[in-house]
Structure 1
C-alpha cells in the first residue's frame, strides 16, 4: 500500500480518508510515469490543534492549515517552471518502496474550506492530498512559473479523476 495512514482524528475514518488518499497519491504518481506500489507516503490524519502545533514547529506559523508536507528528499528544480528531478521510473521496485515523505492533513480546516467554497468534501481532500504528494515529488508554488506548472498538473490529474478544476 502506498499510504501509511496514522489516524489521530476519528472523523477521518468516517470520511474514508484511507481510500481518498490512496487514490489521489496513486493518480499523481501514475500520471508522472511512476509506479505507485514502489513508493510510500506517511500520512497523519489530524485536527486543527495538532496541525497548528506542526505548523508552528516547522514553519513558524502558529495557526492551523489544511495540509503540510515534508519531502524525504529535495527534488525541486533550480530553474523556475522546470519540472523536478523525479525518481527514475525504470528503477522502481515494489519490494523496496521508496519513501517520499510525510503529509499531515487537518479535518477541521478541510471541512471548513470545502463548505466555504461549496465543494464536495471528498473532492477537496483528494485535491489536497494530490497537492501534498506533488510537493513530496519536488513541485512547489512559491515562484509564479512553478505555481503554473503545479496547478496545471493538478488540474490535469483531477480531471482524469472526474474532479472539477479547484482553481
Structure 2
C-alpha cells in the first residue's frame, strides 16, 4: 500500500504520516482489500477546503473531509497485481478541531474518524439514506475501536456522533 501524505504549510498536523498510513491500512484490511492500493491524504486549510466544497458540492463553506474516488479495488478491468489508485482524501484540521467539542471528542480522535470516513467513501460507502448512514457509522465505529485497541487505548471509550448525516445532503 502506498499513502502519499501532504500538509499545507501552516496547517495543524493532528495526525502524523505514520498514523495516517496505519489508519488507511486498517480500513483496507477491515474491508478485505489485499491488492496493491495507492491513496493520497492531504491536510489543507479552510480556504482551500471551502473552494473544493464549493466546486464539487456546490456548498460555499469549508467542510471537514472530502473524498475523491479514482479506481475501485473490485474493478474487473484491473489485472490482479495492478496497483489501484483509490483516490484522494482532503482533511481540514481547523474545521475538525472546531467541531470536535460538539461531538464531545478531541480534535485528534475526530480527525481519525474523518480519515476512516474518507477511506470508506473511497471504498464505495455512502450516507445519503438512513440505512446507508447507519451501516457506515457502524463500520466506522468498529474500525476506530480496533485502532484504539491496537494503540493500547480502551476501545469502549471510542464514541462517534452522527457524523455521516448532513442537513445539506439527500
| TM-score, normalisation: structure 2 | 0.79
How well do the aligned residues superpose, as a CA RMSD in angstroms?
Answer: 2.1
Q: State the partner residue of 2:151.
A: none
Q: What stretches of structure 1 move > 6 A for 4+ residues in a row?
A: none
Change (3 A) 1:16 1:155: closer
**Of Structure 1 and Structure 2, which has the larger fraction of its residues in helix?**
1
In the TM superposition, what are the counterparts of 1:53-68 in structure 2 within 5 Å? 53-68=51-66
1:107 aligns with 2:85: no
Asked if the contact 2:4–2:41 (Cα under 8 Å) also holds between the matched residues in 1, the reply is yes
Q: State the partner residue of 1:130.
A: 116
1:27 aligns with 2:26: yes
Structure 2 segments unaligned to the other structure (5+ residues): 149-154, 162-170
Give the paired residue count.
150
- The one of the two structures with greater contact order (alpha-carbon pairs below 8 A, sep at least 6) is 1
Asked if the contact 2:11–2:45 (Cα under 8 Å) also holds between the matched residues in 1, the reply is no
Asked if the contact 2:53–2:60 (Cα under 8 Å) also holds between the matched residues in 1, the reply is yes
1:165 aligns with 2:164: no
Q: State the partner residue of 2:6.
A: 6
